[in-house]
Copies of this chain bind each other. A is one copy, B any other.
Amino acid sequence: MAEQLLNERDIEFLLYEFLDTGQLLQRSRYSEHSIEIFNATLQTARTVAEKYFANHNARGDAEEPTFDGEKVHLIEETKQAWDAFADAGFLAARYDFDEGGMQLPEVILRASLATISAANVSSAGYPFLTLGAANLVRSFADEKLKAQFLPPMMDGRFAGTMALTEPDQGSALADIRTSAEPAEDGSYRIHGQKMFISGGDQSMTDNIVHMVLAKIKGAPAGVKGISLFLVPKFLLDENGNPSTRNDVKLSGLLHKMGYRNTTSTVLSFGEGEGAIGYLVGEPHKGLSYMFQMMNEARIGVGVGAAVLGYQGYNHSLQYAKERPQGRLPSNRDPESKQVPIIRHADVRRMLLMQKSYVEGGLALCLYASSLHEDQHTADTEEQRRRAGTLLDLLTPIVKSWPSKYGLKANELAIQVLGGSGYIREYPLEQLYRDNRLNPIHEGTEGIQAIDLLGRKVPAGELAGYRLLQEEIRSTIMRARDNHRLASQAGALEKALQKLDRTTLDLMGQLQRDPDRGLANASLYLDVFGRVAVSWIWLRQALVADAALADSVPEEDENFYRGKLQAARFYIEWELPEIDAQIALLETGNSVPFEMDENWF
């Protein structure tokens, strides 16, 4: 399937068999839609991805953006990709018809974006960031700001960025120093520096809308004093057209290992009189607004990581089927024909491991996306609340698990190709470099770990955690009466019990000493991820097993058998590693915690 960006059969499976996306048509918001429309949207995304994004993925890496002191230069295909994305309507797709959108369900949009990420994750950065910035404007800006900025962000005239990080703080947003001073006209003057701002400058769009976190003078210290501002690169004239340049300056580009065609910038706000910024929503609520968008951004990172892994899997699979080399150990005849390397057990292991990571990761992300959908459009208040609670809990996993294991998949893909995997004459090494970003941005793995254990699990007296347990148990119930899946169900059940015991134990540790209690949070994150993904795989296995009860075409049969084998692999090979991890968590092993910094 390497000629495809993703395996289309798998996307169909995930959307319509694993998830019941067709059910959305029952909801009033989607009454004018149909499966045909969903599929046509996915097909449009594939076409845009293949024609306008995949075409320059390697070139955008080799000829990364440059800054001549005045202007940022991108290879021209970047602008063509941006236009194609906007023209296809994806910037507006999620909004209602009466807002000029397609009223598209999140999960269909997400699956569409996944294909585009697979084609070229760094050129996809510009529209993806704009989607996030536009959502902030739409959700929290007043009507005037919305009228000025949202339409051009929906039709592709303006791009958007998220300007959070500063040179002197990375993950610690409480300590940002960018300041905002009220001016007489109701706007603010922004002063400060932002770093690692993706898409922070380019010349493709008429304007760039920076969503900037800053502190209004006199605001409370810490996260409770952070406000959100809209700071355009060009100020608008009375007709809403970009006119004079705002006091926002590109200090320089950063040069990344991968993801190169997305500019990473250092931006100076207000080197002169101050950049003009407009307060979005209420003062001091900036971080909470950002957090309301965070689930979306973090699912986006998860999807990007999973599909980069998926690309590598596809390429290495095709290579393994075509490349003859060596013979089986039992064959001692040097004159016999060489076999394709997929016949070597260790190569199959590396491929199956990749499959379990990338298909598992994508399934997890699309499931999260369906929760996001349900949170907003499910029929009852109770269903919406439930979906939102589950999504909040799972977000750190959805962000971090595919980031960790998608990268590992790319590492394995390189290994399948050997020397060829290591050279730029093949696409694997770029995927690996691109994917290395994902465990870092939108909250590092360590940040996700603390978020999960310190915040999301204890939230509402373990409300989300209990909901997830219920969900997993119900899958186990369905699987354990099926003799083909009973042993996997049993393994997951035991793992779930261990997770539960450990979780309760950790809640006690946290109360006694939060510093020690959170010290091993990264281990907990990994344990939790393994349990969650085992569940995702068991759910896929249930669907595949049921499908095989009827007679199906050979191609489908192979597909379902592959799902079953990957589920077995994940549960038999990857899940058991939690035992050693849980032993460390339960004893509150403090070897790293007690390592004195002078002993290093």
Contacts and interface: CB of A to CB of B under 8 A. Distances in A.
A321 interface: yes
Nearest to A518: B329
A493 B514 CA distance: 35
Contacts of A591: 352, 565, 568-569, 572-573
B565 A595 contact: yes
Which size class do A's interface residues fall under? 35 or more
A328 interface: yes
Contacts of A196: 419
A476 interface: no
A148 to B, nearest CB: 32
B562 A589 contact: no
Interface in A420-445: 420-425, 429, 432-433, 436-437, 439-441, 444-445
Contacts of A255: 423-425
A571 to B, nearest CB: 9
Contact of A346 (B221, B352, B437, B446): B446
A138 interface: no
Interface in A360-412: 411
A122 interface: no
A459 interface: no
Number of copies of this kind of chain in the complex: 2
Contacts of A98: none
B561 A171 contact: no
Interface string A556-600: 001101100100110011001101100110000101111111111
14 contacts: A170-B325, A175-B334, A257-B429, A264-B423, A330-B515, A348-B593, A348-B595, A349-B519, A419-B440, A422-B436, A561-B596, A562-B595, A568-B591, A579-B580
Given A256-B422, A348-B592, A568-B591, 17 more contacts: A174-B326, A254-B425, A256-B429, A257-B424, A328-B515, A329-B514, A346-B522, A347-B446, A348-B593, A352-B591, A415-B444, A415-B445, A418-B444, A419-B441, A559-B599, A577-B580, A579-B579
